[in-house]
């Protein structure tokens, strides 16, 4: 590990007010952004993420996001323990969740619990702080109108990053056209500001040993719940039972199918900003299809 295990054990003991010493440290793979470790004590396990010191803000926002979802009481998330900088590295420590396999109703349970989380709401769209989606900044300044929020803080923000990355004028032109016609996708649909996971692809969802759903690695804000559902469809991996249970718990507006592409455009642009390559033509293709619908 890149930092002192003894110091980390001491930090955990202080944060939890319980004695903790590390018996073993195991590297955990699978993350996109950070290095991760399982810290095993005598009878407690913690999950540690490390990044360079400038990553502290990102970790502090992730910890608050987990806290916000935990406070909803709707769905299990790893309990955030503490974050800070040690030995020149930013760290985030949370409860380690042991993964298990599905029980009969795991997918339906996820659908119901996500709908319950979405029922937590605020008066305005956004969050009390900015955070990140992957490692891309995600601005969350509270906004009264959802369409304004989605246009300025989601779509056009990512387009601006993409242009700076060299995406070119065609993308910007299409984005401006889309931004000017955004209202047409909404009609008289007025979403409420729901607590969203914000980055809900199947890699950020698991089951614990009782088969209960666990969500992690969030990019929390209060927004249209359709945005979370759209993302589950972008990369797949969620079962028809999940969607059926979600819709039973809280039916979706008929216009969801039309807005889905609009909401996923944000994540495709973000993937271009993170990884480059073919995501640019994918984003342009989605924009063209959306513009053709107007």
Task: Cite the active site residues.
Answer: 199
Nearest residue to 202 via CA among 239, 169, 159, 156: 239
User: By CB under 6 A, is residue 33 in contact with ligand ADP?
Assistant: yes
Residues 276, 165: Cα–Cα separation, whole Å: 9
- Per CB under 6 A, the segment of 25-33, 143-151, 178-186, 240-248 that binds ligand ADP is 25-33
Contact call for residues 103 and 208 (beta carbons, < 8 A): no
Q: How far, in Å, are 117, 157, 169, 246 from residue 250 at the CA level?
A: 11, 30, 41, 6
User: By CB under 6 A, is residue 28 in contact with ligand ADP?
Assistant: yes
Binding mask 185-224 for ligand ADP (x = CB under 6 A): ------------------x------------xx-------
Minimum distance from CB of 1 to ligand ADP (Å)? 15
Phi-psi label, residue 263: left if phi above 0, alpha if psi -120 to 50, beta otherwise: alpha
Minimum distance from CB of 277 to ligand ADP (Å)? 19
| One residue of 6, 14, 19, 32 binding ligand ADP per CB under 6 A | 32
User: By CB under 6 A, is residue 249 in contact with ligand ADP?
Assistant: no
Residues 274, 173: Cα–Cα separation, whole Å: 21
User: By CB under 6 A, is residue 116 in contact with ligand ADP?
Assistant: no
User: By CB under 6 A, is residue 58 in contact with ligand ADP?
Assistant: no
The structure tokens listed for 162 are 């993409």
| One residue of 12, 48, 94, 159 binding ligand ADP per CB under 6 A | 94
Residues 236, 139: Cα–Cα separation, whole Å: 26
**Strand pairing of 205-207 and 131-133?**
unpaired
The structure tokens listed for 20 are 């903790």
Minimum distance from CB of 216 to ligand ADP (Å)? 4
Residues 270, 276: Cα–Cα separation, whole Å: 9
| One residue of 96, 129, 247, 258 binding ligand ADP per CB under 6 A | 96
User: By CB under 6 A, is residue 47 in contact with ligand ADP?
Assistant: yes
User: By CB under 6 A, is residue 101 in contact with ligand ADP?
Assistant: no
> Which residue, 83 or 174, is less far from ligand ADP as judged by CB?
83
Residue 18 sits at the vertex; the CA angle it makes with 51 and 207, to the nearest 5 degrees, is 60
User: By CB under 6 A, is residue 78 in contact with ligand ADP?
Assistant: yes
Binding region for ligand ADP (CB under 6 A): 28, 30-34, 36, 47, 78, 94-97, 203, 216-217
């Amino acid at each position: 590990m890149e930092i002192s295990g003894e110091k980390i054990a001491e930090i955990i003991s202080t944060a939890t007010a319980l004695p903790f010493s590390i018996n073993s440290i195991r590297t955990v793979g699978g993350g996109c952004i950070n290095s991760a470790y399982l810290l095993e004590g005598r009878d407690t396990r913690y999950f540690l993420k490390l990044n360079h010191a400038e990553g502290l803000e990102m970790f502090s926002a992730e910890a608050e996001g987990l806290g916000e979802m935990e406070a909803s009481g709707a769905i299990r998330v790893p309990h955030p323990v503490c974050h800070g900088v040690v030995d020149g590295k930013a760290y985030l420590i949370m409860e380690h969740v042991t993964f298990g396999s599905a029980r009969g109703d795991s997918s339906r349970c996820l659908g119901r619990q996500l709908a319950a989380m979405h029922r937590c709401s605020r008066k305005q769209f956004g969050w009390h702080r900015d955070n990140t989606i992957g490692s891309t900044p995600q601005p969350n300044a509270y906004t009264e109108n959802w369409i304004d929020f989605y246009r300025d803080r989601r779509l056009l923000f990512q387009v601006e990053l993409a242009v700076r990355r060299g995406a070119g004028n065609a993308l910007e032109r299409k984005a401006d056209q889309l931004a000017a016609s955004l209202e047409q996708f909404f009609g008289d649909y007025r979403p409420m500001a729901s607590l969203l996971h914000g980055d809900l692809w199947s890699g950020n969802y698991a089951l614990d040993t009782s088969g209960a759903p666990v969500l992690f690695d969030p990019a929390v804000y209060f927004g249209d719940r359709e945005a979370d559902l759209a993302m589950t469809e972008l990369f797949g991996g969620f079962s028809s039972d999940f969607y059926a249970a979600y819709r039973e718990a809280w039916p979706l507006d008929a216009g969801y199918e039309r807005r889905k592409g609009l909401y996923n455009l944000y994540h495709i642009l973000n993937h271009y900003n993170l990884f480059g390559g073919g995501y640019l033509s994918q984003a342009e293709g989605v924009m063209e299809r959306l513009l053709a619908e107007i």
